[in-house]
Amino acid sequence: MEEKEVKQTLNDIRDMMSKSSRFQSISGYSIIVVGLLAAVATLISAVVLGVENCFPCSEKLQQCAILDTTTRTRYIALIGMVLFVVSLLTVFIFATIKSKKNQLRFVLDKRTGQMLLDFFIPLVAGGVLSIAMVMQHHYGLTSSIMLIFYGLALINCSHYTYPILRYLGYAELLLGLIDCFIVSHALLCWFLGFSVLHIIFGIIYVILFDRKKA
Amino acid sequence: MAILEGLNKIFESKIRLGIMSVLVANESADFATLKSLLELTDGNLASHTRSLEEAGYIRCEKKFVGRKPNTTYFATQAGREAFAAHINALENFLKECKS
CA distance B80 to B63: 24
Instruction: Flag if B94 and A17 touch (Cβ within 8 Å).
Output: no
Which of B25, B33, B91 is closest, CB to CB, to A109?
Answer: B33
Q: Does A7 touch chain B (CB under 8 A)?
A: yes
A77-98, pLDDT tens digit by residue? 889 899 999 999 999 898 888 8
Other beta carbons within 10 angstroms of residue A194's beta carbon come to 25
Q: Does the model's ipTM exceed the 0.85 cut?
A: no
Tally the domains of chain B.
1
Instruction: Flag if B94 and A6 touch (Cβ within 8 Å).
Output: yes
In a domain, B17, yes or no: yes
Degrees, nearest 5: CA angle A187-A191-A193:
115
Minimum Cα–Cα distance from A14: chain B residue: B21
Is residue A61 pLDDT above 70, yes or no? no
Q: Name the average pLDDT for chain B.
A: 84
CA distance A201 to A83: 19
pLDDT above 90 covers what percent of chain A? 37
Q: Does B89 touch chain A (CB under 8 A)?
A: no
- The β-bridge partners of B63 are B70
Give the pTM. Answer: 0.70
DSSP state, residue A51: -
CA distance A16 to B72: 18
Q: Does B77 touch chain A (CB under 8 A)?
A: no
Other beta carbons within 10 angstroms of residue A154's beta carbon come to 23
Is residue A105 pLDDT above 80, yes or no? no
In a domain, B5, yes or no: no
Minimum Cα–Cα distance from A6: chain B residue: B90
B22-68, pLDDT tens digit by residue? 888 887 888 888 888 888 888 999 999 999 999 899 999 988 878 88
Q: Does A21 touch chain B (CB under 8 A)?
A: yes
What is the domain range of residue B57?
10-92
Instruction: Flag if B33 and A20 touch (Cβ within 8 Å).
Output: yes
- CATH number of the domain at B54, please: 1.10.10.10
CA distance A54 to A51: 6
In a domain, B24, yes or no: yes
Q: Does A110 touch chain B (CB under 8 A)?
A: yes
Is residue A55 pLDDT above 60, yes or no? no
Confidence at residue A88, expressed as pLDDT on a 0 to 100 scale: 92
In a domain, B2, yes or no: no
Minimum Cα–Cα distance from A4: chain B residue: B94
